[in-house]
Structures are given as structure tokens and as C-alpha cells.
Amino acid sequence: MTNTAKRPYLHQISVSNGVVPKLAVPQAHVTKDGVEGDRQRNLEAHGGPDRAVCVYSLEIIETLRREGHSIAPGSAGENFTLAGLDWKHIDTGTKLRVGNEVKLEVLSYTSPCKHNACWFKDEDFSRISQKKHPGWSRVYARVLAEGVVKQGDPVTVET
């Protein structure tokens, strides 16, 4: 029997000038400070070397959409929307290789922000809170290896 399962990949790269939704770009340079072309409005809550890249799951977004929420890739402020990963296994300490150059280490879960309320029924943005709904949160990662990523790049969980 042939394995037709799709390998994990970078579905979307998203950047903005400090607002959500972040918009898709076909490729980006990633540095220890984050994704070039991206800016955070509140540097006390977002950004910095330990929160350089915000990462989320395409499958979680799709499930939320089936629940009736209008969230889409980039809506929740994530820089990388990844597809094909078992998101419940992405935890602090997880290392991800994105493309040939970029390596990330997940350091924390991302607290939901009031600017995400418009994507959720009844504006209940706590739907993506790790505390209230474990396994549904975005994550923050630091950059261990810089480089360029492109939409469609393979993603590998490293040990």
C-alpha cells in the first residue's frame, strides 16, 4: 500500500504593519528578530527574540471555521501557518525546521488577543486559549537558524 499522506509544509507566510489580519507573502527572510516585513503593535506582549515567529496550524483553523468562526490563515496574527502536523504534539521545546535553512524552537503558547475577537462567534477569542482549550493555541518560537522560507516549504519536527 502506498503512503499518500502529505508531508508537513508551510501553507502560508503572513506579515503586517502591526495589525490583523496579517497578509500572505510568497517568501520571507527570517532573522532572530522575526519575519522581515512584519511588525508588532504591542512589543510588551508580542515580538522580541523569544517571540520572533508566531506559528499556527492550518488544520486547527479549518476546524474552527467548521465551528462557524470566520478565522483564516493570518487572521490570528500568526506568521507561519503550518499544514500536516499533529498540532497536539507541538509543545514548548519542540524544534521545527522550515525549508532548508530556518530552524525554530517553540518557547511558549500565545495568549489570545482582543484584536482577534472579530474572527470568533460572540467575539469569544478565548477559543484559542491554551489555558481554556489546550491544544488550540498558537505558539511563539525563537529562531535558532536564520534564512529564507517560501510558501510550500517542507516542515520537519526535529529532536
Residue 44 has pLDDT above 90, yes or no: no
Backbone angles phi, psi at 139, to 5 degrees: -130, 155
Q: How does strand 147-150 pair with strand 27-31?
A: antiparallel
Residues 12-38 as b or e (16 or more Cβ within 10 Å = b):
bbbbbeeebbbeebeebebeeebbebb
Residue 138 has pLDDT above 80, yes or no: yes
Q: 0.85 cut: is pTM over it?
A: yes
Percent of the chain at pLDDT > 90 equals 81
The per-residue pLDDT for range 49-97, each reduced to its tens digit, is 899 999 999 999 999 999 999 999 999 999 999 999 999 999 999 999 9
Q: Structural domains in the chain?
A: 9-158 (2.40.33.20)
Q: What is the pLDDT of residue 149?
A: 98
Residue 16 has pLDDT above 50, yes or no: yes
What size, in residues, is the chain? Answer: 159
- Read off the pLDDT band of 41 (50, 70, 90): low
Residue 28 neighbours by CB under 8 Å, 6+ apart: 13, 15, 35, 36, 37, 38, 148, 149
Cα–Cα distances in angstroms (integers) from residue 121 to residues 64, 65, 71, 76, in the given order: 10, 10, 10, 14
Q: What is the pLDDT of residue 39?
A: 79
Residue 92 CB neighbours (<10 A): 12
- More confident call, 40 vs 15: 15
Cα–Cα distances in angstroms (integers) from residue 124 to residues 59, 111, 119, in the given order: 19, 13, 9
- Residue linked to cell 508551510: 10
The per-residue pLDDT for range 74-87, each reduced to its tens digit, is 999 999 999 999 99
Q: What is the pLDDT of residue 48?
A: 73
